[in-house]
């Protein structure tokens, strides 16, 4: 997979400044309009900036792989939505209160928040309950306005599925969450999220490509869990990585097994840079665990450098929920 690394690096070098500019023009103004508290605004802006670059680069790589054009503004909006929505689900309002979080200001979750976010993900009338939800709605509607083609029905279906798995993921805070539930959450969240992002690039996916996209999404979710394992442990979140059921060599084997499938669907030459990008993410995961000081050093300058934003983990847009018992998700 490392054979494609030079071409992936070349593509990244060209794309990162474009994505950084798109963020400043499209996402940053929405953050400023939606959040009045300067501390919350700075935190959210820094977090969304990092994720917009990361997810944007992955989406541009997929566009090159499939021969489709992707607007940079759509890419950065999608990255910002992914980060903010995930944090709204994971947070309980303890740190954000009525200013930005999903809680009531006393560290408790607003029971109506899931329904509101479900309306947004289900393409129904959405009435935001907090400034952060207002921002999320503006980001989502920004994608709909900017996208050159109408979203395919499969994207809306994947959004509904993603919301169900995100709510279910609160079970990861249970002390004895079953292994099969962790596997279901990892597969469901990763597959649905990646299907949405790729669906914004290519409206119609053939069955073999759709299955490959979902499998890669699960692998990338596992890779993200590997990079965040210490953070998750500190916040009382159990993943397949934190409980020892999945290791980095296991994730690497799955990525390596996906390479011939990518070549079969997209051609060996076209798949090479995309595989190089996946290999870099694998390498980045190893470095982030073995040399975490590099990520910490890059975090502050990441606000000014697209390259450092891509290399750093970035903070959560909203404070995570405090460790403790969680409410059960929907039945499996």
Predicted pLDDT of residue 41: 94
The CATH number covering residue 68 comes to 1.10.600.10
Q: Is 152 exposed, middle or buried (0-12, 13-18, 19+ CB in 10 A)?
A: middle
User: DSSP string spanning 41-65?
Assistant: HHHHHHHHHHHHHHHHHHHHHHHHH
Q: Is residue 331 part of a domain?
A: no
Which helix (H) or strand (E) segment holds residue 192: the answer is helix 179-201
SS3 of residue 109 by DSSP: strand
SS3 of residue 186 by DSSP: helix
Cα distances (Å, whole numbers) of residue 298 to 16, 198, 253, 267: 16, 28, 29, 36
Predicted pLDDT of residue 98: 41
Q: Is residue 330 part of a domain?
A: no
Total domain count for the chain?
A: 1
For the chain, which ranges sit under pLDDT 70? 92-109, 292-314, 321-332
Q: Is residue 72 part of a domain?
A: yes
Predicted pLDDT of residue 1: 83
Q: Is residue 328 part of a domain?
A: no
Predicted pLDDT of residue 154: 87
Here the tokens at position 15 are: 């794309």
Q: Which residues have a Cβ under 8 Å from the Cβ of 96 and sit 6 or more positions away?
A: 40, 102, 103, 130, 132, 318, 319
* pTM of the predicted protein model: 0.86
Predicted pLDDT of residue 110: 76
Predicted pLDDT of residue 304: 58
Predicted pLDDT of residue 299: 53
Domain limits for position 233: 2-311
SS3 of residue 303 by DSSP: helix
């Amino acid at each position: 997979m490392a054979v494609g690394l030079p071409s992936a690096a070349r593509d990244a070098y060209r794309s990162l400044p474009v994505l950084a500019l798109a963020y400043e023009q499209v996402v940053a103004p929405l953050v400023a309009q939606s959040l009045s508290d300067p501390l919350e605004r700075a935190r959210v802006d820094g977090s969304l900036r990092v994720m917009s670059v990361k997810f944007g680069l992955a989406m541009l790589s997929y566009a090159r792989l499939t021969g489709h054009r992707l607007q940079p503004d759509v890419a950065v909006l999608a990255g910002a939505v992914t980060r903010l929505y995930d944090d709204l689900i994971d947070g309980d309002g303890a740190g954000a209160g009525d200013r930005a979080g999903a809680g009531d200001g006393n560290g408790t979750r607003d029971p109506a928040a899931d329904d509101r976010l479900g309306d947004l993900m289900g393409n129904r009338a959405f009435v935001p309950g907090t400034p952060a939800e207002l921002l999320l709605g503006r980001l989502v509607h920004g994608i709909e306005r900017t996208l050159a083609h109408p979203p395919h029905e499969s994207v809306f279906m994947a959004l509904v599925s993603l919301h169900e798995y995100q709510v279910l993921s609160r079970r990861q805070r249970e002390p004895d969450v079953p292994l099969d539930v962790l596997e279901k959450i990892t597969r469901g969240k990763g597959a649905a999220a990646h299907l949405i992002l790729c669906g914004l690039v290519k409206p119609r996916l053939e069955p073999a490509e759709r299955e490959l996209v979902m499998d890669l999404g699960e692998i990338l979710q596992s890779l993200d869990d590997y990079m965040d394992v210490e953070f998750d442990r500190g916040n009382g979140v159990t993943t397949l990585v934190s409980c020892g059921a999945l290791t980095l060599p296991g994730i690497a084997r799955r990525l390596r097994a996906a390479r011939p499938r990518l070549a079969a669907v997209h051609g060996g030459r076209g798949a090479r840079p995309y595989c190089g990008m996946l290999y870099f993410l694998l390498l980045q995961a190893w470095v982030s665990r073995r040399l975490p000081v590099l990520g910490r050093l890059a975090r502050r300058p990441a606000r000014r450098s697209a390259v450092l934003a891509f290399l750093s983990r970035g903070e959560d847009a909203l404070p995570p929920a405090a460790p403790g018992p969680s409410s059960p998700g929907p039945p499996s």
